Structure 1
């Protein structure tokens, strides 16, 4: 995987044990990050007349991203063009885990918390769009915090978001339309866990 124009390379420092790779947008703002661990700088590529290096080679010995599809999603986030509602649905279903990964990574790399920032007390989910567990969290994050929004990536993370004392607090009500369609795609135990969690934190969940 090649990450172009996302490194600040220091020629005098060819090895580091705790490297962190920052993902930057076109405005050179950090929108994501990955802890790499040990990294060794290899050969430098051909430079531009002004001295900028076009390409560098690194050898990584630490962590790897478990979502290879994220390589295709990050450029969309880095484009600087605002995300659209429902954009995650346009990707293949097997990309939804990677989309959720990018959502979560970018959310926290941008110094936001696991909380509700949106002001709508009633949020709407469309079960017709929810066919996977990652898709549920993509839909919920968008419904609560807008396109690209995060509101949990698993049951524990969802509980953290709902119970957070930061932000606007939990939504008062969630209306899950086309719930039967979701039932046909998601396993019963997962849906029961979601319903139970909402009940525990006194969030009114209406299905229709």
Structure 2
């Protein structure tokens, strides 16, 4: 049985399945330019529109089109999906992973798959995302990638679990909050557990507070070690002399949505 970690499906027709692959080398590498990437679809058995493009390398018909790229779990279930544009076949060769498989090199536009995200997806796939704080080991770019996977995998990670009822008390550990993204990492895990998501900017937090993202307002947020975060969340891209700090803006959003914040 072939390992299936990634799948492609046409954006135009959900019945036009383009096949699975064991690896998608280059998917989570730094961008070439803007959102363009060169990805090697390793250990694949192309179908549909992708298969039809293999015989037209170098021509216009090598462009298979737009697609949804799913990251699969160990059972072949989608954990999350990226939208990719203009998937174009550049090369194809026999794969060392199987006599009936090929490795297909494509160029495509995808700006959502951030460098470092692949490691986070693998934690989820392997069932090793079982404790909070794994994001603390990452630098600023790594924390941003962590948040992106938390967002794209949110439905998968919460499948079958209802929102916590109104009145729930969530505990937010502020000791490791060093910047805005680390706050969102900590908040997501406070509400939804290891690898959890509850916003990755101010507008997204406000959306999550409206329900269907793990918590039901009104609730209580017990913010431990809040003085540590207060000293670090003093800047915000829009902050000017007469603009509240990020810390104050967060407290304002929570108050407007009926969340009682207990600063410890």
TM range (shorter): 0.7 to 0.9
Q: 1:165 to 1:83 in 2, by over 3 A?
A: closer
Residues 40 and 106, structure 2, Cα contact 8 Å, conserved in 1: no
* Residue aligned with 2:175, SS: helix
**Structure with greater Cα Rg:** 2
Q: 1:172 to 1:12 in 2, by over 3 A?
A: closer
Q: Which residue of 2 aligns with 1:12?
A: 51
For residue 170 of structure 2, the aligned residue among 107, 112, 123 is 123
Q: CA deviation at 1:199?
A: 1.0
Q: Give yes or no for the alignment of 1:41 onto 2:93.
A: no
Structure 2 segments unaligned to the other structure (5+ residues)? 1-25, 27-38, 54-62, 236-244
Q: CA deviation at 1:144?
A: 0.7
Residues 116 and 170, structure 1, Cα contact 8 Å, conserved in 2: no
- TM score, norm. by length of structure 2: 0.67
Query: Which one has a larger percent strand, Structure 1 or Structure 2?
Result: 2
Q: How many residues align?
A: 204
* Residue aligned with 1:13, SS: helix
Q: Give yes or no for the alignment of 1:204 onto 2:250.
A: no
For residue 138 of structure 1, the aligned residue among 168, 185, 208 is 185
Query: For residues 70-124 of structure 1, what are the alpha-carbon distances to aligned partners after superposition, in whole Å with 9 as ceiling and x for unaligned?
Result: 244333233233432221112234411110011001114x3969x9734581011
- TM score, norm. by length of structure 1: 0.83
Q: Which residue of 2 aligns with 1:51?
A: 100
1:80-91 to structure 2, matched below 5 A, reads 80-91=127-138
- State the distance in 2 between where 1:111 and 1:74 align: 11
Query: Which one has a larger percent helix, Structure 1 or Structure 2?
Result: 1
Q: 1:36 to 1:196 in 2, by over 3 A?
A: same
- State the distance in 2 between where 1:24 and 1:161 align: 25
